């Protein structure tokens, strides 16, 4: 019994260490970043695009817009494709093929992001430059690269959501004379809705947080983009690009940008989890 208790205690400590890690990071970045936000003022920090660390101007609006633009673009591309794949793999494709394709898509998650960035720079950026104009390094390039990077997240969570829909719903629909496509869009997508929303939001979190690939293809110009062919700098890129030489208030401002990202991603994940839980409850027929 003593041994049992000891083991339970050790396991609890291990489990708590994850929580402790999260707590430490949170406290640290808020401690480093929050004072500067308060000192600069919410308005001058979030709603000014004047970022001149040497002159003491810390407005991150252009980067917020940059982050939002590439995230939105990534979700338009990756969200649509990922949901489409999930529909095909769960509703239309033979189970054997699906059980081969799903791990293949999940394998995409294992490719290092620098490789995605590299592929983007060598293939995508020149294509955009010669066919659509602009510098090539752009919102569009970043959106496409990120869109592919979020595919595994969106696809595999959407697949799980669609698979969690009880088969009896599907049978009931088919027995009423519905075709596969009717069953899919009139019933399955509605029944799996909250899980699919969770998949999209988690994908957004991933797109928003991605750094390396974005630095390589987005151009990193500190301006508000006028079109999808313009270069942008995202919050994450900015932190990564400037952290190496920043000191004093500049360093604090980068942490403050981190606080912003952290808060947004936490909000995304909380929403996603709430939706995911709701799907599971519905799956149990309550």
Partner 1 sequence: MDAKIETKNLNLYYGDYHSLKGVNIAIPPRSITAIIGPSGCGKSTLLRCFNRMNELIPGVIIEGEILLDGENIHQQGTDLIRLRRRVGMVFQRPNPFPLSIADNITYGLRVHGTPPGQKHSDIVENSLRATLLWEEVKDKLHSPALALSPEQQQRLCISRVLAIEPEILLMDEPCSALDPIATDHIEDLMRDLSESYTIIIVTHNMQQASRVSSWSAFMLMGELIEFGPTVRIFNNPRDKRTEAYISGRYG
Residue numbers at the binding site for partner 1 (CB under 8 A): 94-95, 166, 168-169, 171-179, 182, 186-187, 190-191, 282, 285-286
Choose between 165 and 213: whose C-beta lies nearer to partner 1.
Answer: 165
Beta strands in the chain (DSSP E): 51-52, 57-58
Choose between 7 and 186: whose C-beta lies nearer to partner 1.
Answer: 186
Closest CB 166 distance from partner 1, rounded Å: 7
Closest CB 175 distance from partner 1, rounded Å: 4
End-to-end CA distance of the chain: 40
Choose between 31 and 190: whose C-beta lies nearer to partner 1.
Answer: 190
Burial of 40 (0-12, 13-18, 19+ CB in 10 A): buried
Closest CB 168 distance from partner 1, rounded Å: 4
Closest CB 101 distance from partner 1, rounded Å: 17
CA-CA distance, 16 to 4, in Å (whole number)? 18
Choose between 169 and 262: whose C-beta lies nearer to partner 1.
Answer: 169
Contact in structure between 186 and 165 (CB atoms under 8 Å): no
Looking up tokens 């592929």 gives 119
Contact in structure between 258 and 67 (CB atoms under 8 Å): no
Closest CB 277 distance from partner 1, rounded Å: 15
Choose between 95 and 248: whose C-beta lies nearer to partner 1.
Answer: 95
In this structure, what token pair is assigned to residue 150? Answer: 């979020």
């Amino acid at each position: 019994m003593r041994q049992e208790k000891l083991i339970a205690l050790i396991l609890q400590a291990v489990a708590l260490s994850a929580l402790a890690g999260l707590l430490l990071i949170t406290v640290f970045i808020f401690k480093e970043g929050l004072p500067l936000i308060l000192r600069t003022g919410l308005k001058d920090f979030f709603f000014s695009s004047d970022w001149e660390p040497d002159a003491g101007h810390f407005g991150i609006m252009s980067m917020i817009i940059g982050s939002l633009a590439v995230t939105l673009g990534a979700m338009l591309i990756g969200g649509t494709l990922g949901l489409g794949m999930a529909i095909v793999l769960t509703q239309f494709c033979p189970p054997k093929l699906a059980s081969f394709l799903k791990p293949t898509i999940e394998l995409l998650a294992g490719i290092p992001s620098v490789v995605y960035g590299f592929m983007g720079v060598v293939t995508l950026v020149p294509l955009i430059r010669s066919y659509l104009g602009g510098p090539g390094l752009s919102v569009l390039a970043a959106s496409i690269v990120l869109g592919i990077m979020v595919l595994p997240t969106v696809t595999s969570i959407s697949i799980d959501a669609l698979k969690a829909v009880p088969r009896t719903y599907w049978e009931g629909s088919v027995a009423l004379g519905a075709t596969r496509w009717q069953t899919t869009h009139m019933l399955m997508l509605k029944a799996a809705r909250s899980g699919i929303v969770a998949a999209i939001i988690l994908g957004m979190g991933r797109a928003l947080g991605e750094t390396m690939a974005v630095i390589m293809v987005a151009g990193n110009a500190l301006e508000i983009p006028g079109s999808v062919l313009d270069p942008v700098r995202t919050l994450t890129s900015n932190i990564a690009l400037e952290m190496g030489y920043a000191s004093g208030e500049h360093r604090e401002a980068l942490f403050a940008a981190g606080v912003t990202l952290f808060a947004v991603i936490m909000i995304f994940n909380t929403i996603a989890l709430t939706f995911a839980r709701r799907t599971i409850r519905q799956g149990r027929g309550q």
